[in-house]
């Protein structure tokens, strides 16, 4: 488990997620990977009957990073709209907010 990485433009410093081929801000084609940093949960929802192994409800959120991008992540039960969070990315591909 490590912090989620996003792309950042080497020219204008705009950041984005998921991966793109060109900066949506200034059009530059050179970028670096940087840690996502902090963000705020803007919406959350319980997904009932998800295709999870146990079929248990899953809590998802839409997180606006301070760096700009909006990321869809899995929320811990006690994390809801308005909360400040950081994002982890596991080998299983799950982005988690904590």
Partner 1 sequence: MAADACIVGCGEARYTRHAPAGTNTAAVLADAAWLALESAGIDAGAVDGLAVSSFSLGPDHAIDLAWRLGVHLRWLMEDTNGGASAINMLQHAGRAVQAGDATTVLVLAGDHLPAAAFRTLVEEYNRATRDHLAPLPFGGPNSLFAMLTQRHARAYGLGRSDYAALVIAQRQWAAHNPGAVYREPLTLEEYLAAPIVSDPLCIYDCVPVVTGGDAIVVRARDHLSGSRRPPVLVRALRLTFNPDDQQGDGLRTGLSVLAGELWAEAGAGPRDMDVTMVYDDYPAMALVQLTDLGYLGERELRGFIADELASRRLPVNTSGGQLSAGQAGAAGGLHGVVEAVRQLRGEAGGRQVPGARRALVAGYGMVVYRYGACAGAAVLERAR
Query: CB of residue 38 vs partner 1: minimum separation in angstroms?
Result: 19
Interaction of residue 93 with partner 1, rule CB under 8 A: yes
CB 4 within 8 A of CB 87: yes
Q: Which is nearer to partner 1, 10 or 56 (CB)?
A: 56
How many residues sit close enough to partner 1 to count as binding (CB under 8 A)? 26
What are the distances in angstroms from CA 10 to CA 2, 5, 31, 54, 64?
23, 15, 5, 43, 21
CB neighbour list of residue 18: distance below 8 Å, 6 or more residues apart: none
Residues 2-21 that bind partner 1 (CB under 8 A): 18-19
Task: List the x/- string, 23-62, binding to partner 1 by CB under 8 A.
Answer: -x-----------------xxxxxxxxxxx-----x-xxx
């Amino acid at each position: 488990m490590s912090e989620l990485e996003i792309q950042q433009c080497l020219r204008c410093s705009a950041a984005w997620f998921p991966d793109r081929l060109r900066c949506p801000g200034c059009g530059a084609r050179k970028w670096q990977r940087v840690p996502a940093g902090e963000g705020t949960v803007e919406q959350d929802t319980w997904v009932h009957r998800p295709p999870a192994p146990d079929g248990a409800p899953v809590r998802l959120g839409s997180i606006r990073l301070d760096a700009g991008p909006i990321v869809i992540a899995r929320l811990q039960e006690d994390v809801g709209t308005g909360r400040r969070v950081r994002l982890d990315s596991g080998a299983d591909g799950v982005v988690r907010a904590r």
